[in-house]
């Protein structure tokens, strides 16, 4: 979703076919959006370029009517090919300045950060938002740094002014603490993708976010 021309990072779904229990990425994305997901990042680490593009176009088509933006993980070329709303870069992906030179101002660029130093560098380099990870230990990725915890998240919040999306072990039970520690949104993988009912899981997460923001009790 977009608010005053800016991407709404409140509930940021990161896809993972390996965890989707036989459901298609499109099915999971649609269910998540019905439950309140505000942004979808398509992550495909093993797909061929052609397969990635085909899946991205399929997911983009199902998101168009909802107004929920599509972000492509890692692959600037795929993001450009399908006309995605954004691309998300890890620390070992294409350098931020090169990505910006390719996409210009037409696309949002997010950067994964694991420290205050990373965050400050990404802000200085022109990132639009930061994915802060891992907040807590997570089984979804094994190549991450030690968990930052809420204190680490808050330290990054104090150091930069960009929107922060917290990821890594975030779920409905700790979402309020994460938002309270400075995150503008939470990114989840298994909490929605692997849920028995992805739509209900997303709705529960949105409620936890709303409670943390004082929008409901």
Nearest to 96 by CA among 76, 77, 114, 81: 76
CATH assignment at residue 90: 3.20.20.70
* Span 164-175, average pLDDT: 95
In a domain? residue 30 = yes
The Cα–Cα gap between 123 and 174 comes to 27
46-97 pLDDT, tens digit per residue, is: 899 999 999 999 999 999 989 999 999 999 999 999 999 999 999 999 999 9
Residue 141 a catalytic site member: yes
In a domain? residue 110 = yes
In a domain? residue 44 = yes
Catalytic, out of 20, 60, 100, 112: 112
In a domain? residue 217 = no
Residue 60 a catalytic site member: no
DSSP assignment letter at 80? H
Residue 24 a catalytic site member: no
Catalytic, out of 21, 45, 117, 141: 141
**Residue 72 vs residues 80, 133, 141, 148, 156: alpha-carbon distances, Å:** 9, 18, 17, 25, 24
How many domains does the chain contain in total? 1
pLDDT over 70 for what percent of the chain?
97
Catalytic, out of 10, 17, 20, 43: 43
In a domain? residue 28 = yes
Domain coverage including residue 189: 2-212
pLDDT of 32: 98
35-47 pLDDT, tens digit per residue, is: 999 999 999 988 9
């Amino acid at each position: 979703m977009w608010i005053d021309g800016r991407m709404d990072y409140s509930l940021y779904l990161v896809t993972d076919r390996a965890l989707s229990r036989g459901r298609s990425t499109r099915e999971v994305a649609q269910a998540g959006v019905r439950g309140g997901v505000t942004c979808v990042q398509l992550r495909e680490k093993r797909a061929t370029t052609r397969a990635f593009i085909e899946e991205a176009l399929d997911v983009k088509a199902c998101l168009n009517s909802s107004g929920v933006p599509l972000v492509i993980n890692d692959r600037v070329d795929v993001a450009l090919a399908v006309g995605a709303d954004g691309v998300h870069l890890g620390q070992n992906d294409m350098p931020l300045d090169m990505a910006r030179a390719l996409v210009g101002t037409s696309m949002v660029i997010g950067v994964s950060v694991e420290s205050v130093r990373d965050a400050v560098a990404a802000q200085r380099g022109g990132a639009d938002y930061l994915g802060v990870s891992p907040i807590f230990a997570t089984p979804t990725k094994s190549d991450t740094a030690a968990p930052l915890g809420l204190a680490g998240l808050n330290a990054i919040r104090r150091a930069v002014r960009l929107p922060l999306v917290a990821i890594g072990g975030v779920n409905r039970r700790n979402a309020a603490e994460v938002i309270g520690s400075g995150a503008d949104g939470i990114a989840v993988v298994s909490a929605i993708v692997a849920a028995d009912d992805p739509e209900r899981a997303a709705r529960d997460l949105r409620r936890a976010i709303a409670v943390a923001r004082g929008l409901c009790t």
